[in-house]
Copies of this chain bind each other. A is one copy, B any other.
Amino acid sequence: MKPILCFPVLDRRILLSSLAMLPVLSASLRSTSAVAQAQRDPLPSWNEGATKASILDFVARVTTQGGPFFVPAEQRIASFDNDGTLWVEQPMYVQLAFALDRVKAMAPLHPEWKDKQPFKAVLEDDMKTLAESGERGLLELVLVTHAGMTTDEFAKIVSDWLATARHPRFKRPYTELVYQPMLELLAYLRANGFKTFIASGGGIEFMRPWTERIYGVPPDQVIGSSIKTRFEMKDGAPTLFRLPDVNFIDDKAGKPIGINEHIGRRPIAAFGNSDGDLEMLQWATLGTSGARFGLIVHHTDAEREYAYDRQSHFGKLDVALDAAAVNKWTVADMKKDWKRIFAFD
């Protein structure tokens, strides 16, 4: 630090670039600035308070070598739900909006859909009838729109759709509707040696084309629901063909199962926002003596985002909210705890 402190009138950029020519001094300068960076607030979009303090405290505890709660880096596993935890899930799951758009795009090849539910309801934007088709109707829509092509083709369909689709209220690409405080949290955990995973009820192949770019989470750290695939050689080229057959539902009690299957270790921290995340939070935090961290994002901000919990159709938060109180999970109150919701705020 000394050279800089002694010549405060020097332009810092000029100083840095001349120092850069001296490899020795620049090395020591770089480590000084790394310390300064670490001392900066790693979670600038989180307001000061108990929620933010609980995050910082947990990370400090598990990374303090020699401390009673130290966890070796390879065991620092954190799992995040996606819909409603990392990005917006209202007025409907993004993947459902995708499926509805796909039905419309595919309709010219399926003239029979004009008279066949639940497709008719989609084509007529009749959300009431669509809702009445229930889970079976939705599953039919998902299988028709998500199967019948190779994995490469599906990844391209998803990427193309995300490039043009806009959220009905925010009029922005869905990949901009990711929560800035959670992006900071992901980066902060990784900077502290955590491996960050997504464990979502959404489709694993619907997320993988963009999670690395948007969240910094590579495809092999994404867990989600899936349909079966079939391997075949086609004109000398290997392909995986997507079949209209459910393989795995990564929701509720499925989340710990999917997490075990993919990670093979219990996370020491889990982040969710709905009853679908209850078992993941239990799996990560309970029945162990070490430091563990559970956090629920509570959507309380109708003005900047949405306000919903116990009665919501998408992202219902009821038993998991009660469990949070019992199990001492942190509840992040979006309105109170988040300075900004989105990067563009």
Contact = CB atoms under 8 A, between A and B. Distances in A.
Interface residues of A, number: 45
Q: Counting chain B CB atoms within 10 Å of each CB, which of A212, A219, A221, A286 scores highest?
A: A219
Given A74-B212, A222-B264, A229-B257, A238 B24 contact: no
A279 interface: yes
Contacts of A77: 220
Number of copies of this kind of chain in the complex: 2
Contacts of A286: 233, 236-238
Contacts of A247: 261
Contacts of A253: 230-231
Q: Counting chain B CB atoms within 10 Å of each CB, which of A27, A77, A195, A287 scores highest?
A: A287
A130 B261 CA distance: 31
A151 B283 CA distance: 12
Given A204-B261, A237-B287, A262-B262, 6 more contacts: A24-B28, A151-B260, A197-B220, A220-B220, A231-B256, A239-B287
Given A240-B257, A253-B231, A220 B279 contact: no
Contact of A287 (B220, B236, B257): B236
Contacts of A197: 220
Interface string A191-214: 000010100000011001000100
Contacts of A233: 282, 286
Contacts of A240: 256-257, 260
16 contacts: A24-B27, A27-B27, A74-B218, A204-B261, A204-B264, A208-B264, A220-B264, A222-B264, A231-B253, A231-B279, A237-B287, A237-B288, A238-B279, A240-B256, A240-B260, A247-B261
Contacts of A231: 253-254, 256-257, 279, 283
Contacts of A230: 253, 257
Given A236-B286, A282-B238, A262 B229 contact: no
Contacts of A260: 151, 229, 240
Interface string A69-94: 00000100100000000000000000
Contacts of A221: 220
Contacts of A151: 260
A226 interface: yes
Nearest to A208: B264
Contacts of A208: 264
